[in-house]
Amino acid sequence: MTADDVRRRRHTAKEYGPDPVDIHVGRQLRLARELAGLTQTDVGKDLGMSFQVVQKYEQGEIRVSASRLFQLAALLGRPIDYFFEGFEGGKPGRGDMQRQEIDLVRAFRLIRSAEVKDCLQRLLREIGGGSTISLADND
């Protein structure tokens, strides 16, 4: 057996599809970006790259390097581990937020009155069937 036989061939996203971790990190990136109210262009400009690169990160087509992940986390106000939250067993998490949910969270964050926020939380819990889950835990 030669060294070439032992050496493993690198799996590329083009040949084998994106790695599940890259897909998950990309989804988390997209969610954080949208919750921050930023476009792919905004993120690209702030970090000196094109919106296409941001798009490919979000789709898991290209991997986010450690230094770039650090920059993205700082820009989006998230800890590094945020990008890996919900990733279990080699499969991307199923907690993807829909557009309406993202818009709702962004609108909620614009409310300055704590009293109004509390009232909305109670109303949403009531409408949702009385769940005891705190909406504040999902920030």
Task: Kindly report, residue by residue over 24-64, the tens digit of the pLDDT.
Answer: 999 999 999 998 989 999 999 999 999 999 999 999 999 99
The pLDDT of residue 136 is 47
**Which residues contact residue 117 at a Cβ distance below 8 angstroms, ignoring those fewer than 6 apart?**
108, 111
Residues 86 and 29: their CA atoms lie apart, in Å, by 13
Per the CB < 8 A criterion, the answer to whether 27 and 71 are in contact is no
The pLDDT of residue 132 is 56
Max Cα distance, the chain (Å) = 72
* 84-131 tens-digit pLDDT: 988 876 554 455 666 778 788 888 888 899 999 899 888 888 888 865
The pLDDT of residue 77 is 94
Residues 65 and 70: their CA atoms lie apart, in Å, by 9
State the Cα torsion 51-56-57-62 to the nearest 10°.
-130
The pLDDT of residue 6 is 45
The pLDDT of residue 12 is 62
Residues 102 and 132: their CA atoms lie apart, in Å, by 21
The pLDDT of residue 11 is 59
pTM for the full predicted model:
0.65
Phi/psi for 64 (5° steps) reads -90, 120
The pLDDT of residue 138 is 46
Does residue 137 surpass a pLDDT of 50? no
Right CATH for 9-96 from 3.40.50.700, 1.10.150.240, 3.40.47.10, 1.10.260.40: 1.10.260.40
The pLDDT of residue 14 is 65
